[in-house]
Chains A and B, each alone.
Chain A
Amino acid sequence: MNQTKAIAWQKRLYFMKRYGIGLLFLLPWLIGFCIFVAIPIGWSLFMSLHKVAVVPGGFKYDWIGMKNFKDAFVTDNVFPIELITYFQQMLLMVPMIVIFALLISLMLNQRFPGRFLYRAIFFLPVIFATGQVLSELFTQGAGEIPFIEQYNLEPLIEQYIGKQFAETIMSVLSRAILILWYSGVQILIFIAGYQTISPTIYEAVRIDGASPWDSFWKITLPASVPFISLNVLYTIIDLFTFPLNPVLAHIRDNMFKMDTGYGYASALAWIYFGFIFVLIAIVLLLFGRSVKTRRDRR
């Protein structure tokens, strides 16, 4: 009896040693994460199901169930439109950023003098593209390209592509600098990805008579599929939490309105989050499948 107890005690001591110290390292961060990230997120879900009113000495919660979520689509005449427009822009901008990053990284991967300097320059904007500086630049009009207005491109685009898409395309064009600015991290991820392809493969296909064009399609591109998916995810998250985003601005506005209040704003945020989540799930599914088929074929 005594012996089994001793063994159990030894066992517990072993696990304590094994996990305890590890968990001790994790603990300060975990406590902070729970208090300042996890609980607030949960709280906002709770609030989204209530009508939140500010009363002296705190907040008053009235249970209204899913009404906030319903109102977002039925009563609010700004939110659904902004959400859809932003999604359209997103669907255009994400591929543009990723393809642009792919091209630039391909070129940066070539050997030429001063390569490191150029990599630094392309990464530089990412560092500055934080809210403060960016909104400052946009209020001063530095983010726009003058030639769009000078040459009156809008009627041309309307004529050739159609009116319903013209607005979206114009807003994407006017953000061309933004596209350049937002592709820094993606470029570096791609460059890192190319380093994983062993140079002997290129040598082998060159001996077999493949042109550089072939070796790009047959080797470089298939090998960088995981990095493309990583970049698509990164771009989506980056753009959706972008501080000048109209949907987020709308959420912020609603937060301090008397009639809608914080509960409604939280509901909007959760709807927005739901949309991002679905989009990311679709992307993961698509890329997951393509990676899998590639693996099976091998």
Chain B
Amino acid sequence: MIRRLRRITPFQVILVTVFTALAAFMSLPIVFILNHAFKPTNELFLFPPRFFVQNPTGSNFEQLFLHATNATVPFSRYVFNSVFVVALTLISVIVVSTMAAYVLAKYQFHFKQLILSLITLSLMFAPETVGIPRYLIISGIHLHNTYLGHILPSLASPIAVFMLVGFISQIPGELMEAARIDGASHIGIFTKIVLPLAVPAIATISIFTFQGVWGDVETSTLFMQDETMRTLAFYVNSLLSGLQNSVAGQNVAAAAGLLMFIPNLIIFLLFQRKVLETMIHSGIK
């Protein structure tokens, strides 16, 4: 113990203080959104705005739920839609993208370079512009107003495959060769070697996919005309845009903002260590 203490140099003390200050600065917005949701109405409009709440109340949430029960579609329906869509999308994205990434990373075949460069190109393309063609395709194959219409568009996600290819290509090829010599089938190699080794990368893409799908309003706006098929994100968003300019809506908006934010935080805390692992490994060539 004494030896450890002696190892701490003044330089380290400075480093830790600087980092504590920076970290505090970076977490300000998160603290803000937390505090904002519990502010009573009179504090929301204080000028200059205060960071910390003085008299915390739960009335913002009360109003949010009151507002929600007055709507034509019950609040729980939106929650169910969101949870159902997110869960199914997560599972299918993981299965489909790991399979594709495994092949792209470890096999040689024609058009492989073409597919890889297409992935990189589509990463650069602004997502808004493909909205209408997607709508036409979805309505062309009669997927509007079904859960599949929520799930399928995010299924073929280029970003997930992009990250997974980078990670899986670092798994040594010798491992797979050894398994092949021992008589493992393709599916055997995939499930017994690639999947367990890619767990950190899978954790990462599941976080990113969760974030994307949970906050996504595009599928609900474009593909769902039936109000009962829309997700929580859409409901909160329409609530916000309808109430943004009115004084009365500000507190509901603050509460709704926190409500959308909490699941992200939970998922992040669950997978955080795994993500950092991936990020650190996937950069190494």
Contacts and interface: CB of A to CB of B under 8 A. Distances in A.
B279 A139 contact: no
Given A29-B161, A36-B137, A36-B156, A107 B18 contact: yes
Nearest to A125: B26
A23 B36 contact: no
Given A22-B107, A23-B109, A269 B126 contact: yes
Interface residues of A, number: 85
Interface string A92-129: 00000000000010011011111010111111110110
Interface stretch (A78-86, A158-166, A181-189, A201-209): A181-189
A41 B119 CA distance: 12
A37 B154 CA distance: 10
Interface residues of B, number: 82
Interface string A223-238: 0001100100000010
Nearest to B212: A130
Interface stretch (B58-66, B67-75, B95-103): B95-103
A21 interface: yes
A142 B283 contact: no
B261 interface: yes
A28 interface: yes
A297 to B, nearest CB: 20
Interface string B24-40: 01111110110010000
B276 A133 contact: no
A31 to B, nearest CB: 8
A277 interface: yes
Interface string B11-25: 110011011001101
Contact of A142 (B15, B33, B127, B215): B33
A269 B129 contact: yes
Given A132-B260, A185-B279, A192-B279, A40 B130 contact: yes
A192 B283 contact: yes
Contact of A110 (B15, B49, B152, B268): B15
5 contacts: A32-B156, A44-B132, A122-B22, A123-B276, A193-B284
